[in-house]
Amino acid sequence: MPETTLEIRPGVTIPEHLVGEVRSKLAYVDELIGGAEISPAGDLIHLYLQRKPSADEIQALKEKTNRVVNLMARGVIQPKVEILEDRLDLPLPYRDDPLEALTRRHEIHQEASGVYTLGPLVTRLMDYFETRFLALANHFDAAPYRFPTLIPARYLSRVNYFRAFPHSLTFVTHLRSDLDVIDHFAAHAVADESGRINMPADTYASIETLLSPAVCYHLYFSLADRKLDSEYMVATAVGNCFRYESSNLSSLERLWNFTMREVIFVGSKEFVLENREASRQYMQTVLDEIGLAYRVESANDPFFIGEFRRQAAFQSAFQLKYEIRARLPFRESTLAVGSYNYHQDFFGRHLNISLPDGSPAHTGCTAFGLERLAFAFLAQYGLKRDDWPVAVREGAG
Amino acid sequence: MSDSTLLSKVKTVLADVFQVPEEDLSDDLVFGDLPQWDSMGHMDVMLSLEQNFGVEINAETIGSLTSLATICAYLEQNGNA
């Protein structure tokens, strides 16, 4: 638990629309930081620290915090906010955080920060939502795919993922193929009280593989350096995704290991945009049947500090991303449970995916975070099935 | 400023941002024609236009100024060059 607080007045006032983005990035400033808050006016930062810092550490914390604020907020371009659907005011029967009740009833079990096992209640809810997403995929005649959990570093490097999202990477390694190293590990390795394995870094092989941060990347990589046989394709897959969020990991809202279902469109600009819009309209009916209180609004990806200002402005200007944000009544805030994305020809160019006419393919996807959707639903309707909307009660009973 | 002078000045800015010779920039250059003119490159172009021509860059302009021709037309009407 954080033991001490450090107040910092940033050199630049943080605009209101950036407060959440900057706050989440402060978790990556220093390992001392266990949490952060920013005043609504954006002129005061509270860092919650794991222990009392030295004078030098305070100086470093202030310098790094100001670096984050400067890079993200100085000269920031106001995003174009667009709301496509608004059902946030739907009457809801539940106002508590469902996490406590789920834990008490052993419906969830936390294995580590951001890592949960899910019991029958949440699993059945996710399975039900999956049937609705599969129906969406069938509506577009999407071809089913199954992708691995691991993803090669060379692929992520090729699409500049390391530059855009370095903070959320999760690396995979194994013991070096050396009998002495393996014997030593087998004889002496234990996980200490903090959960860390007590072996030196050179025990492990260099990193060539990561845990996958997104589902659709695997499809794009499988199409790399190819000319498509047809003018378009639609695919669907569900997969485990991994995004490390440091001290932002919390509850089922921000998981390190989560499940994502995607419907993926590849083709011309017109094809991708038309189908992204068609999927939004299809899901509008589904979300109404589920009874979700939500809003669909323009958004940006959580780019890391140095990339954030330019990339977020670009996404906003070209309307590349819309999020489905479900209401969390217990906090009077919203949580992104899905998104409608258009990547332009970014993957087509970087991965050399071309259409039959030789032009670079455009791509887009409609994506849903299954745990988040289940959590938001439970936050709105509670754990009693009798209180759930009919479609969910019958589908997930 | 004449059209050709403005075009030449914009080409100088783009050549500087993209680190290419000006003669490599055709008059009908559009976003994506050069590998450097991607999302990050586009935002560098916008910021450079802001600094060099005193125009205001916002979400609308970022989304519309995607070719040499539209940049020149916009600067003709709004720039302080």
The whole-angstrom separation of Cα A150 and Cα B42 is 32
> Residue A223 pLDDT > 90, yes or no?
yes
Q: Measured between CB atoms, which of A307, A310, A316 is closest to B59?
A: A316
Residue with tokens 């919650």: A48
pLDDT-above-90 percentage for chain A? 92
Q: How far is A206 from chain B (nearest CA, A)?
A: 30
Contact list in B for residue A360 (CB cut-off 8 A) is 32
Q: How far is A76 from chain B (nearest CA, A)?
A: 10
| Joined tokens for residue B15 | 């050549």
Do A195 and A87 fall into the same domain? Answer: no
For position B80, what pLDDT does the model report? 64
For position A76, what pLDDT does the model report? 83
The residue-averaged pLDDT of A109-117 equals 96
For position A225, what pLDDT does the model report? 97
Do A21 and A141 fall into the same domain? Answer: no
Residue with tokens 């849903």: A368
What b-and-e string marks burial along A320-330, b requiring 16 or more CB atoms within 10 Å of the CB? bbbbbbbbbbe
Do A177 and A35 fall into the same domain? Answer: no
Optimal mutation site among A74, A308, A314, A344, interface B, most CBs of chain B within 10 A: A314
Query: CA A332 → CA A23, A97, A100, A379, distances in Å?
Result: 18, 11, 17, 11
For position A78, what pLDDT does the model report? 82
Does any domain span residue A141?
yes
Domain ranges, ordered by start, for chain B: 3-78
Instruction: Tell which residue, A44, A40, A59, has the closest CA to residue A12.
Output: A44
Structural domain span for residue A197: 171-203
For position A168, what pLDDT does the model report? 96
Instruction: Tell which residue, A66, A17, A69, A68, has the closest CA to residue A40.
Output: A17
Q: Is A349 on the interface with B (CB under 8 A)?
A: yes
**1.10.1200.10, 3.30.450.80, 1.10.20.10, 3.90.190.20: CATH of B3-78:** 1.10.1200.10
* A254, β-bridge pairs: A250
Give tens-digit pLDDT for A265-275.
999 999 999 99
User: How many Cβ atoms sit within 10 Å of the Cβ of residue A383?
Assistant: 17
Do A95 and A133 fall into the same domain? Answer: yes
Q: How far is B24 from chain A (nearest CA, A)?
A: 20
Handedness of CA A246, A248, A252, A258 (dihedral sign): negative
Query: CA A6 → CA A23, A65, A81, A213, distances in Å?
Result: 14, 11, 33, 33
Do A277 and A362 fall into the same domain? Answer: yes
For position B81, what pLDDT does the model report? 54
For position B11, what pLDDT does the model report? 96
Least confident piece of the model among A48-62, A69-83, A217-231, A358-372: A69-83
If pLDDT is split at 50, 70 and 90, which confidence band does A310 have? confident
Do A225 and A274 fall into the same domain? Answer: yes
Q: How many residues does chain B have?
A: 81
Q: What is the CA radius of gyration of chain B?
A: 11
Q: How far is B63 from chain A (nearest CA, A)?
A: 5
The whole-angstrom separation of Cα A19 and Cα A137 is 36
Does any domain span residue A78?
no
The whole-angstrom separation of Cα A366 and Cα A321 is 10
Which one-letter amino acid corresponds to residue A29? V
Does any domain span residue A161?
no
Q: How many residues does chain A have?
A: 397
Give tens-digit pLDDT for A176-202.
999 999 999 999 999 998 889 999 999
> Residue A79 pLDDT > 90, yes or no?
no
If pLDDT is split at 50, 70 and 90, which confidence band does A171 have? very high
CB A377 within 8 A of CB A290: yes
| Joined tokens for residue A318 | 């070209």
Contact list in B for residue A352 (CB cut-off 8 A) is none
pLDDT-above-70 percentage for chain A? 99
For position A294, what pLDDT does the model report? 98
Examine the fold and report which residue of A73, A94, A118 is the final residue of a domain before the chain moves on.
A73
CATH of the domain at A56: 3.30.70.60
Contact A314 B43 (CB under 8 A): yes
> Residue A2 pLDDT > 60, yes or no?
no
Do A140 and A194 fall into the same domain? Answer: no
Contact B32 A314 (CB under 8 A): no
> In sequence order, what DSSP letters do the residues of A89-109 get, joined into one string?
T---S--S-HHHHHHHTTSEE
Residues 276-315 of chain A with CB under 8 A from chain B are 307, 309-311, 313-315
Contacts of A316 (CB under 8 A, 6+ apart): A77, A79, A80, A298, A300, B59, B62
Does any domain span residue A166?
no
The residue-averaged pLDDT of B53-75 equals 90
Contact list in B for residue A315 (CB cut-off 8 A) is 39
Residue B39 region by backbone torsions, left for phi larger than 0, else alpha for psi between -120 and 50, else beta = alpha
Do A221 and A300 fall into the same domain? Answer: yes
Do A25 and A43 fall into the same domain? Answer: yes
Strand order in the sheet with A150-152: A150-152, A209-211, A171-172
Q: How far is A154 from chain B (nearest CA, A)?
A: 19
Backbone angles phi, psi at A25, to 5 degrees: -75, -25
Does any domain span residue A248?
yes
Query: CA A69 → CA A14, A36, A258, A308, B50, distances in Å?
Result: 7, 13, 29, 11, 22
Do A353 and A251 fall into the same domain? Answer: yes
For position B1, what pLDDT does the model report? 61
Give tens-digit pLDDT for A319-344.
999 999 999 999 999 999 999 999 99
What b-and-e string marks burial along A80-118, b requiring 16 or more CB atoms within 10 Å of the CB? beeebbebeeeebebeebbbebbeeeebbeeeebbebeb
Instruction: Tell which residue, B68, B65, B75, has the closest CA to residue B15.
Output: B68
CATH of the domain at A246: 3.30.930.10
If pLDDT is split at 50, 70 and 90, which confidence band does A391 have? very high
Q: Is A319 on the interface with B (CB under 8 A)?
A: yes
Optimal mutation site among B30, B43, B46, interface A, most CBs of chain A within 10 A: B43
Contact list in B for residue A80 (CB cut-off 8 A) is 59-60, 63
Optimal mutation site among B34, B36, B39, B56, interface A, most CBs of chain A within 10 A: B39
Contact B43 A313 (CB under 8 A): yes
CB A22 within 8 A of CB A69: yes
Tell me, what's the ipTM?
Answer: 0.80
Q: Measured between CB atoms, which of B40, B44, B57 is closest to A77?
A: B57
If pLDDT is split at 50, 70 and 90, which confidence band does B18 have? very high
| Joined tokens for residue B45 | 């172009």
User: How many Cβ atoms sit within 10 Å of the Cβ of residue A345?
Assistant: 21
> Residue A105 pLDDT > 60, yes or no?
yes
Q: What is the mean pLDDT of chain A?
A: 95
Burial group, residue A178, by CB count within 10 angstroms (0-12, 13-18, 19+): exposed
Contact A311 B40 (CB under 8 A): yes
Do A274 and A236 fall into the same domain? Answer: yes
The whole-angstrom separation of Cα A314 and Cα B40 is 8
User: What's the number of domains chain A is made of?
Assistant: 3
Do A106 and A221 fall into the same domain? Answer: yes
Does any domain span residue A320?
yes
The residue-averaged pLDDT of B48-62 equals 87
Q: DSSP label at B2?
A: -
Which one-letter amino acid corresponds to residue A249? L
| Joined tokens for residue A3 | 């033991």
For position A34, what pLDDT does the model report? 93
